[in-house]
Amino acid sequence: MMLEQFMNKVRYWDNLIAKWVMRHFYFMFFQVILVIISIFWLSNTIHVIDLNFQTAKASLLEKVLLAQTINTTIIVLLLLLNSFWLLYIFGGIQRLRTILRDITYHLSKMRCKN
């Protein structure tokens, strides 16, 4: 009986530590990386907008290249938004997993008492 209680405490503390690591390390790490990429993208977009004003009366080739750069910038924006959305979805899945793990832990603890 003493070993069972000890193992229940070990499982409880393991669950708490796993929750803390998953919530505070991985998601924050990926959010920081995405924010850095977003800041880099924003500075690049501002540079492209500045080039747009400079090449208003330029050759056809420069206009085509600028249009291609703007299209690529739009695609990168959509990919960044998709990455933030996926991170949000994975966070929700992780919260559900944690809630289900807590429910399972408490139900197994109730079974042991009975």
Q: Considering only CA atoms, which of 11, 5, 23 is closest in space to residue 101?
A: 11
Name the average pLDDT for the chain. Answer: 81
Q: What is the structure's pLDDT at 114?
A: 65
Token representation of residue 82: 């998709």
Q: What is the pLDDT of residues 73-110, one digit of tens each?
A: 889 888 888 988 888 888 788 788 888 888 888 888 77
Token representation of residue 10: 């070990």
**HSE-CB of 51 using CA atoms within 13 angstroms:** 15
Q: What is the structure's pLDDT at 17?
A: 84
Q: Where are the domains of the chain?
A: 54-109
Q: Considering only CA atoms, which of 66, 35, 62, 63 is closest in space to residue 49?
A: 66
Distance between CA atoms of residues 37 and 55, nearest Å: 27
